[in-house]
Amino acid sequence: MTVEHEDAYNLDTDPLSTELNETKLAETRKRFKSFQYSYLTVYLTVMGSDWLQGPYLYKLYTTYGLEFERIALLFLTGFLSGAFAGTALGSMADSWGRRKMCLLFCFTTITALCVRMMNVYPVLILSHLLSGASTALMYSVFEAWYVAEHTARGFPSEWRSQTFGQATFLNGIVAIVAGLVANQLVDIWGVTAPYIFACMLLTGAASMILSTWTENYGEPSGNRDVRLTDALKQGLRVLFGSNNIILLGAAQTFFESSMYVFVLLFTPAIENAATTAYGIEDSSPIPLGYLFATLMFAIMTGSMAFQTLDRQSSTPGTSGWMRYITKDRMLTGALTLASMSFWAMAYGSTSVVTLGLAYHVFEFTTGVYHPSISSLRAETIPEESRAAVMTLLRIPMNMVIAIIFWNVDAISQAMLFAMCGVMTFVGAVFLSLRYKS
Q: Supply the DSSP string of 18-82, one letter for each residue.
A: HHHHHHHHHHHHHHHHHHHHHHHHHHHHHHHHHHHHSTTHHHHHHHTT--HHHHHHHHHHHHHHH
Neighbours of 207 (CB within 10 A): 13
What ranges make up the beta strands (E) of 243-320? none
Mean pLDDT across the chain: 85
Instruction: Label residue 388 by pLDDT band (50, 70, 90).
Output: confident
pTM confidence score: 0.82
Burial 311-324 (b: 16+ CB within 10 A, else e): eebbeeeeeeeeee
pLDDT of residue 66: 86
Going 82 to 86 to 88 to 90, the CA torsion angle's sign is: negative
pLDDT exceeds 80 at position 19: no
* 389 vs 321 pLDDT, higher one: 389
pLDDT of residue 220: 55
Instruction: Label residue 16 by pLDDT band (50, 70, 90).
Output: low
DSSP state of 387: H
Percent of the chain, pLDDT > 90? 45
Q: Tens of pLDDT along 390-403?
A: 888 888 888 888 88
Say which amino acid occupies 1.
Answer: M
In angstroms, the CA 67 to CA 89 distance is 32
Q: Tens of pLDDT along 167-176?
A: 999 999 999 8
pLDDT of residue 129: 94
Instruction: Label residue 2 by pLDDT band (50, 70, 90).
Output: very low
pLDDT exceeds 70 at position 180: yes
DSSP state of 173: H
Say which amino acid occupies 354.
Answer: T
pLDDT exceeds 50 at position 346: yes
pLDDT of residue 8: 42
pLDDT exceeds 80 at position 282: no
pLDDT of residue 126: 95
pLDDT exceeds 90 at position 408: no
Lowest mean pLDDT across 112-121, 368-377, 408-417: 408-417
pLDDT exceeds 50 at position 243: yes
In angstroms, the CA 110 to CA 45 distance is 14
Say which amino acid occupies 205.
Answer: A
Say which amino acid occupies 68.
Answer: F
Instruction: Label residue 271 by pLDDT band (50, 70, 90).
Output: confident
Q: Tens of pLDDT along 84-136?
A: 887 787 777 888 889 999 999 999 999 999 999 999 999 999 999 999 999 88
Percent of the chain, pLDDT > 70? 88
For residue 348, report the phi and psi dihedrals to the nearest 5 degrees. Answer: -115, 35
In angstroms, the CA 81 to CA 40 distance is 27
Lowest mean pLDDT across 62-66, 142-146, 311-315, 404-408: 311-315
In angstroms, the CA 116 to CA 125 distance is 9
97: left (phi over 0), alpha (psi -120 to 50) or beta: left
pLDDT of residue 225: 54
pLDDT of residue 167: 94
Neighbours of 239 (CB within 10 A): 18
pLDDT exceeds 80 at position 12: no
Lowest mean pLDDT across 330-339, 405-414, 418-427: 405-414
pLDDT of residue 25: 82
pLDDT of residue 76: 86
pLDDT of residue 5: 43
Instruction: Label residue 357 by pLDDT band (50, 70, 90).
Output: very high
Q: Tens of pLDDT along 199-240?
A: 999 999 999 999 999 998 876 554 555 666 777 788 888 888
In angstroms, the CA 143 to CA 156 distance is 17
pLDDT of residue 336: 96
